[in-house]
Amino acid sequence: MSSENGKRLLETDAGGLNFEATELTLGLPGEPRVTSDGGAKLGSKRGFSETVDLKLGDNNQEVKLGHSLQEAAKSPVSKTQVVGWPPVRGFAKRGKKSCKYVKVAVDGAPYLRKVDLEIYNSYQQLLTSLEDMFSCFTIRNYLNEKKIDQVNGIEYMPTYEDKDGDWMLVGDVPWQMFVESCKRLRLMKSSEAVGLGLTTGPKYASTN
Partner 1 sequence: MSEDDERQQSPPSDLEFVSNKARNCNATGSGSGHPELQSTYPDQVLENVLENVLHFLTSRRDRNAASLVCKSWYRVEALTRSELFIGNCYAVSPGRATARFTRVKALHLKGKPRFADFNLMPPDWGAHFNPWALAMAKAYPWLEKVHLKRMSVTDDDLATLAELFLGFKELVLVCCDGFGTSGLAIFVSKCRQLKVLDLIESEVSDDETDWISCFPEGESNLESLIFDCVECHINFEALDRLVARSPSLKKLKLNRYVSIGQLYRLMVRAPQLTHLGTGSFSPSDIAGQGDQEPDYVAAFAACRSLVCLSGFREIIPDYLPAIYPVCANLTSLNFSYANITAEQLKPIISKCHKLQTFWVLDSICDEGLQAVAATCKDLRELRVFPVDPREDNDGPVSEVGLQAISEGCRKLQSILYFCQRMTNAAVIAMSKNCPDLVVFRLCIMGRHRPDPVTGEPMDDGFGAIVMNCKKLTRLAVSGLLTDKAFDYIGRHGKLVRTLSVAFAGDSDMALKYVLEGCPQLQKLEIRDSPFGDAALRSGLHHYYNMRFLWMSSCRLTRHGCQEIARAMPRLVVEVIRSADEEEMDDVVGTLYMYRSLEGPRTDAPKFVTIL
Binding residues vs partner 1 (CB under 8 A): 1-7, 10, 31-37, 40, 42-50, 65, 68-69, 72-73, 77-78, 80-91, 93-97, 110-114, 135, 137
- CA atoms within a 13 Å half-sphere pointing along the CA-CB vector of 39: 28
What are the start-end ranges of the H helices in 50-187? 123-133, 136-146, 175-181
> Which of residues 6 and 15 has its CB atom nearest to partner 1 in the complex?
6
Least distance in angstroms from the C-beta of 189 to partner 1: 21
Least distance in angstroms from the C-beta of 54 to partner 1: 12
Least distance in angstroms from the C-beta of 92 to partner 1: 9
**193-201 contacts: CB < 8 A, separation 24 or more?**
193/157, 193/159, 193/169, 196/159, 196/167, 198/157, 198/159, 198/167, 198/168, 198/169, 200/169, 201/19, 201/171
CA 120/CA 54 separation, integer angstroms:
14
Evaluate the CA torsion angle 36, 57, 158, 153 in order and state its sign: negative
Residue whose C-alpha is closest to residue 42's, from 95, 6, 93: 93
> Which of residues 107 and 207 has its CB atom nearest to partner 1 in the complex?
107
Least distance in angstroms from the C-beta of 59 to partner 1: 18
Least distance in angstroms from the C-beta of 190 to partner 1: 25
> Which of residues 34 and 198 has its CB atom nearest to partner 1 in the complex?
34
CA 29/CA 124 separation, integer angstroms:
20
> Which of residues 10 and 196 has its CB atom nearest to partner 1 in the complex?
10
> Which of residues 67 and 203 has its CB atom nearest to partner 1 in the complex?
67
Least distance in angstroms from the C-beta of 112 to partner 1: 6
> Which of residues 3 and 121 has its CB atom nearest to partner 1 in the complex?
3
